[in-house]
Structure 1
Amino acid sequence: MPELPEVEVVRRGLARWVTGRTIEDVQILDARSLRRHVAGPEDFIGTVAGSRVRDVVRRGKFLWLILEEPGRASDSPHVALMAHLGMSGQLLIEDPEAPAEKHLKVRLGLSAAHGDDGAALPTELRFVDQRIFGGMFVTELEPTPDHLPGGLGDGLLPLIPHQAAHIARDPLDTVFSMEAFHDRLRARRTGLKRALLDQGLISGIGNIYADEALWAAKMHYARPTDTMRRPDTHRIVDAVTSVMTRALDAGGTSFDALYVNVNGSSGYFARELRAYGRAGLPCSRCAAEGRATLIRREAFMGRSSSVCPRCQPRPRNART
C-alpha cells in the first residue's frame, strides 16, 4: 500500500495540475469505486460537477481535494473530494483522447487551463484501480481540533474531513510537534516499530519506511517506547524525515506498475533501500566498515521486519 511519500508525490502532482480548475463533467464507469459515498453515484455527480478545486491536501496517507461548490462563498469551503488509493488506486492526468486504461473507474472532466509555457494542460483526471480496494467519495469538512491547518497543502485551512480527523500529524507536516510526539510515544508503552505504524500516534509511516528509518537510526523495532529519551525520539523522527524526503525526491517507491504518479511514472527509491526487502544481503553500513553482516528478516505483526543484527541489536526488554 502506498505510504506517505507515494501519496505526497500524487498530491504535489494534483496540486500542480488541478488547483483552481472546475470539474465540469463526471463519468462513473464502475460504481464500486464509489461505495464509500453512501448517498450514491447520482449524489456524487451532483456535488462534484461544477465545483472548483481550491486546494489539494494530505495528512498521513489521506488525500483530499477541497471543493468550492457553485453558489457558495469561496471563503467558506464546505466539502472535500477524498481519494483513497488502497492497494492499486491511481490518479492520472490525461487528455480526453488518450485511450482508456483497462481498470478506469471514474473520469473527471476539467476546465481548460494553460501552463507557464502557454501550452494547454490535459483536461481529464482519471481514477484507475485494478483491485478496487480504493475509491472516491465526497465528505463534509469540519474544524480541526487544534485550530491548525488540516494537513499539508497550499491553502493551510484549519479544516479536515471527518474521516481523517483521528489521524495524527506526520513528520513532514509544518505544525508537527516533536515534543508532543515524544510525550505520547513514551506513554504508549509498546515496541518502537509498532508505535511508528500507529496512525493515531504519527501518520504516514508503513512497513517500508519504518524499517528504513529504524536502520538509519540504528534502533531495533522492539525497543520499548518508554525507554526513549528526547534525543532518541529526535533521532528516529529525523531518520523518518530524511528517508521520506529522499523517497520524495526519487518519486516514491514502486515495486510494480500499481503505484505511479499523476503522469503515470514510477518512483525509483527502491534502488536506495538499505533494510526493507534485503534479507540475506549484506548490510551496507557494516560492509563499509569491513564487516560481513547480513540483513535478517524477522516475523512482526503478521508481516516482517528487516534488521541488521549488528547495527540494531535486540534489547533485553524487547516489546513487539
Structure 2
Amino acid sequence: MPELPEVETVRRGVDAAFRGGRISAVEVYNPRTVRRHATGVADFQRSLAGLEVTGSGRRGKFMWLGLDDGRALVCHLGMSGQLHVVTDGREAHKHLRGRMRFSDDRELWFIDQRTFGYWDLVDMDGAVPATVAHIAPDVFETAFDPGLSADRLLRRRIEVKKALLDQTWISGVGNIYADEALWRSRLRGRRTGDSLTRRKALELLGHVGDVLTESLAVGGTSFDELYVDARGEAGYFARELAVYGRAGQPCKRCATPIVREVIGDRSAHYCPKCQR
C-alpha cells in the first residue's frame, strides 16, 4: 500500500499539473471507485463537471483536491491506486477506473488494479475534508506534537510496531517505514509502548520523520509497477531499505541475518542482534 511519501509524491505531481485547471467532464468506469458517494456514479460525475481545482492537500495516506465550490475530491490509493497526468492520446489502461477531463484537453486518470482505492466528494471540516478529520496529524504537520505523541506511545500496552500503524495518533506510517524507523532506533517491534523510556520514544518518532523525509526526497518506495508517481515514474527508496523485505540478508549495521516475523497480522523485519 502506498504510504505517506508515495502519496505526497503523487499529490505534488497532480497539484503541479492541475491547480487552476477546470474540470470539463468526469467518467467513472467502475462503481467501486465512487462507492462512498451515496447518490451514485451519475451524480458524482455531474457534481464535478465545471469545477476548478484550487489546490490540494494531504493527511497521512489521504490526499485531496480543493474545488472552487468549497468541497474536496478525496482520493485514497488503497493497495494499488495510481493517479496519472495524461497529456497525449494514449490507449486507455486496462485498469482505468476513473477519468477526469480538463478544459485544456489534459486528463487525470485513476488506475487501480485491486479496486481498494476510491474517489469521494466531501465537504471540508476546517483545514481537512470531513471524512479525513478523524485521522491524526502526520509528522510533517504543524499540529503534530512530538512530546505529546511520545507520551501517548508510552501509555500503550501493545507492540510498538502495531502502535505505529495506528492512524488515530500518528498517520501516514505503514509497514515499510515502521520497520525502518524501529531499526534506526534499535528497537524490536514486539516491545510494548509502555516499556520504552520517554527519551527512546522521542528518538523513535524522530527516526519516523527522518525516514519519511528521505524517502520523499527520492519519490518513495517502488517494489513493482503498482506504485509510480503521477508521471509514471518509480521511486528509488527501496535501494536504501535496511530491513524491510530483506529477510535472510545481512544487517547493514552488524551483518546478522535479518529476520521476518508477524506482528498483528502484519509482516515485520528486524535485526535480532541490533534491535532489543
TM-score, length of structure 2 as denominator length: 0.95
Deviation at 1:269?
1.1
Provide structure 2 residue ranges, at least 5 long, that are not aligned to the other structure: none
- AA partner of residue 263 (structure 1): R
Aligned equivalent of 1:309, options 265, 272, 276: 272
Aligned to 2:227: 259
Aligned to 2:123: 140
- Tell me whether 1:298 sits opposite 2:261 in the alignment: yes
Aligned equivalent of 1:169, options 137, 152, 169: 137
Aligned to 1:21: 21
Secondary structure of the 1:261 match is coil
The 5 Å alignment of 1:1-320 reads 1-69=1-69, 77=70, 79-112=71-104, 123-143=106-126, 159-287=127-255, 293-313=256-276
For 1:99 and 1:237, locate their aligned partners in 2 and report how far apart those are by CA, in whole Å.
Answer: 44
For 1:196 and 1:41, locate their aligned partners in 2 and report how far apart those are by CA, in whole Å.
Answer: 36
Q: Which has the larger radius of gyration?
A: 1
Deviation at 1:96?
4.8
Deviation at 1:29?
2.4
Deviation at 1:24?
1.5
Alpha carbons 2:147, 2:202 under 8 Å: kept: no
Alpha carbons 2:65, 2:72 under 8 Å: kept: yes
RMSD over aligned CA atoms reads: 1.4
Secondary structure of the 1:285 match is coil
Cα deviation, 1:185-207, whole Å, max 9, x if unaligned, reads: 12222221111111001111111
Aligned to 1:152: none
- AA partner of residue 108 (structure 2): L
Distance 1:35 1:96, change over 3 A: farther
Secondary structure of the 2:53 match is strand
Q: How many residues align?
A: 276
Secondary structure of the 1:180 match is helix
After superposing on structure 2, the runs of 4+ consecutive aligned residues of structure 1 that deviate more than 4 Å are none
- AA partner of residue 111 (structure 1): S
Secondary structure of the 1:286 match is coil
Cα deviation, 1:240-281, whole Å, max 9, x if unaligned, reads: 111111111121111110111000111121111100111111
Alpha carbons 2:23, 2:102 under 8 Å: kept: yes
